[in-house]
Structure 1
Amino acid sequence: MSVRWGLIGASTIARQFVIDAIRAQADGEVAAVMSSSQERAETYARENGIARAVSSLDALLNSDIDAVYISTTNELHLEQGLAAIKAGKHVLCEKPLALTSADAREMVVAAKAARIVFGTNHHLRNAGAHRAMREAIAAGRIGKPIAARVFHSVYLPENLQGWRIARPEAGGGVVLDITVHDADTLRFVLDDDPVEISAFTQAAGMAGGGLEDGAMCIWRFGSGVIAQSHEGFTTKFAGTGFEVHGSEGSLIAANVMTQKPVGSVHLRSASGEEELSFDREDLYTRSLRHFHAAVRGEGQPAATGEDGVWSLASAEAALQSSNTGKAVAIDPQLGGLA
């Protein structure tokens, strides 16, 4: 049985990563693309070898597709996601799932009620580097985890700047773009939930409209682990990295906060330093493999809808902390979803 996909949004990320990841599945097919502009949809379809191009959500959802990948601007996710669920289509949605965690929860609840597979495209938890770190921590190789640091300040390429730095109403800003990823990555690698955050944000010269283009966050996790993360759009020469420090060792990862299966992970302990090996599978290909398996009734997406609610609730708390100057509790209010 094949999984026929419809793309909601003729996006850069779909073109660069997701279309190929779908086609890498033995049962994957990209059947249609939707853009608000019919001309853009047709151009995109032609350039990417997609058979059908439409300019309305109804036209896409009424076609014979099985699943949708939503990569429109953030303020559109809720309406499009709920419509897809109502139409009986499985949903893989870009992060953040919506502009508020309450809206994200609404989608997750609707999908569960409709027995629809609903995933969040948190690509980083599919990285071999992050899974190697998670496994090392779970195996006790660094003892009791104490603290973590995430370095995820980059330079936003000009072709991606657009709404991310100019449109608050579309969910722009670095917190909804990158802090959500760091929230999910920390949760995944530590296998622990954040309970509190303090955040400072800045406008360092790229973003307008009252949006932030940099953030520095301090996190507290349920186990007592404390973490810091730096997100930015404006640092041209910063490398990315991820460190977890424990009572018996430290994990030092470099160049791992990226969409590509690259980077390195070193474990330092009393017995010296070793480089951990990990698979270099494409992150999106792995994500789509798990999603297709979930559609077949085998397991769940690599990042579930609930994971997307957690990351968005964390980003909301970061913005609230920045606005109030106070630490803010993180409460995804998952209730019966957990």
Structure 2
Amino acid sequence: MRWGLIGASTIAEQFMIGAIRATGGTVAGVVSTTEARAADFARAQGIPAHGTALSLLLEDPTIGAVYISSTNEKHHAQALAAIRAGKHVLCEKPLAMTVAEASEMVRAADAAGLTFATNHHLRCSGSHRAIRDLIARGRIGRVLSLRLFHAVHLPATLQGWRIKDASAGGGVIPDITVHDADVARFLLGEDPLTVVAQMSASGMGQGVEDSAMSVWTMPSGAMVQSHESFTHPFAGSGLEVHGTEGSIFAKGVMTQRPVGEIELVTGQGREAVPYPQHDLYAQGLTDFLAATEGRGQPAATGWDGVAALAVALAVRTAAQTGTRQTVDIPRAA
């Protein structure tokens, strides 16, 4: 697959370009907001074509797919343009600024017969897949609760628009809560029904929230507690799943790298849980490429991205209004 990059982003530089090349792909070109940014990025990454116009990528018939990692408010128009040009799309989360926009993107790809995926990398990790398998095999019995703790310290290199530009989709809720929504859906296999939440600017956010806590009700009766922040340098991240027959404690697994520890605790004692330590992004691309060839689905489909966005935006509305919010998730037609 020959790829076009829409957005000269840190995540593309640190993770996606290497994963594309590791899975046999080629990065054919990159577009960014400014010519200088595009040129510097292309030179540093060994990418042959660069510019500011989407046509550079979309009019190239040899490019089969695009990876979109621009700021959030640009995703909708860029994805629709790529779909009209017949390109498969892998888009960063959150898919769009609204659920309606995200749904439009995915429906357009479905109608065109193109693969559309959301880059929810955590469900590609060996650790999260191992945890889901433990739950599915009944190792902890009926799930009673899931606790997600994803409060980190946002590196200076990523702060920019994420902490000060609401119009670009800044704030911890679209940046991290949306990930945790996907994790909960992936592990438990169900969608939240309602959410209650609080949020604050606790030292980094400038016009956007930088910390949030929420509690979600699930159809099974399980409760989900979720905590996200940009301002916690020493908190550590992870998750706990508690059931009628045992608990799973996973530390350091809410990350872009294949690290962390999983422990299963049951009446028989404590057990370290091994898991495959593959590259998360290479796994996501492997699943994506198989889907473009008609072999299964991407790790996170476009509809998974729509659902995670719906949960995250319900959390934000609940925090803004101080009221319980029903989560309304559109479905494929």
> How far, CA to CA, are the matches of 2:324 and 2:33 in structure 1?
40
Contact 2:107 2:332 in 1 (8 A): no
Contact 1:249 1:268 in 2 (8 A): yes
Q: 1:304 aligns with which of 296, 301, 304?
A: 301
Q: Verify: 1:287 aligned to 2:281, yes or no.
A: no
**Shift of residue 265 of structure 1?**
0.7
> How far, CA to CA, are the matches of 1:232 and 1:48 in structure 2?
31
Instruction: Could you tell me which runs of 5 or more consecutive residues in structure 1 were left unpaired when the two chains were aligned.
Output: none
> How far, CA to CA, are the matches of 1:6 and 1:52 in structure 2?
9
Q: 2:97 aligns with which of 99, 104, 108?
A: 99
Instruction: Could you tell me which runs of 5 or more consecutive residues in structure 2 were left unpaired when the two chains were aligned.
Output: none
Contact 1:54 1:60 in 2 (8 A): no
**Shift of residue 59 of structure 1?**
2.0
**Shift of residue 73 of structure 1?**
0.3
> How far, CA to CA, are the matches of 2:21 and 2:124 in structure 1?
18
Letter of the 1:264 counterpart = E
Partner of 1:180: 178
Give the share of equivalent positions with the same residue, in percent: 55
> How far, CA to CA, are the matches of 2:164 and 2:156 in structure 1?
13
Partner of 2:4: 6
Partner of 1:169: 167
What are the Cα deviations for residues 192-223 of structure 1, in whole angstroms up to 9, with x where unaligned? Answer: 211111110011010112x1000001011111
> How far, CA to CA, are the matches of 1:228 and 1:250 in structure 2?
15
What are the Cα deviations for residues 221-273 of structure 1, in whole angstroms up to 9, with x where unaligned? Answer: 11111010100000011100100000000000000000000001110000001
Letter of the 2:51 counterpart = V
Structure 2 counterpart SS, 1:194: coil
Q: Verify: 1:81 aligned to 2:70, yes or no.
A: no
Q: Verify: 1:15 aligned to 2:13, yes or no.
A: yes
Letter of the 1:173 counterpart = G
Structure 1 counterpart SS, 2:193: strand
Most deviating of 90-99 and 218-227: 218-227
What are the Cα deviations for residues 151-206 of structure 1, in whole angstroms up to 9, with x where unaligned? Answer: 10000001100000110100100000000000000110111211111110011010
Structure 1 counterpart SS, 2:89: strand
Q: 1:46 aligns with which of 15, 20, 43?
A: 43
Q: Verify: 1:159 aligned to 2:190, yes or no.
A: no
CA RMSD of aligned residues (A): 0.7
Letter of the 2:126 counterpart = G
Query: Could you tell me the TM-score, scaled by structure 2's length?
Result: 0.99
Partner of 1:37: 34
Query: Could you tell me the TM-score, scaled by structure 1's length?
Result: 0.97
Letter of the 2:314 counterpart = A
Q: 1:247 aligns with which of 244, 247, 256?
A: 244
Q: Verify: 1:258 aligned to 2:290, yes or no.
A: no
Letter of the 1:60 counterpart = L
Moved >3 Å (runs of 4+): none
Letter of the 1:31 counterpart = A
Letter of the 2:143 counterpart = P
When the two structures are aligned, how many residues end up with a matched partner?
A: 332
